[in-house]
Amino acid sequence: MATKTQIRTQLLKDAFAGRFSTYKDFGSSVGMIARGPWDVLNDIAREEMNCGYPDITVLIFLQETGYPAQLDFVKTSSPPGPQERATARTKAQEVIDLYCPGAVNPY
pLDDT for the residue numbered 70: 94
Cα 58 versus chain centre, distance: 3
SS3 105: coil
Q: Are 66 and 106 in contact (CB under 8 A)?
A: yes
pLDDT for the residue numbered 35: 73
Task: Report if residue 61 sits inside a domain.
Answer: yes
The pTM of the full predicted model, rounded to 2 decimals, is: 0.93
Residue 67 has, within 13 A of its CA and on its CB side, a CA count of: 22
Give me the phi and psi of 4, to 5 degrees please.
-60, -40
Task: Report if residue 107 sits inside a domain.
Answer: no
- Residue 51 structural domain: 4-99
Q: How many distinct structural domains can be found in the chain?
A: 1
Mean pLDDT per segment of 10 residues, for the chain of length 107 residues? 91 98 94 80 97 98 96 95 98 98 97
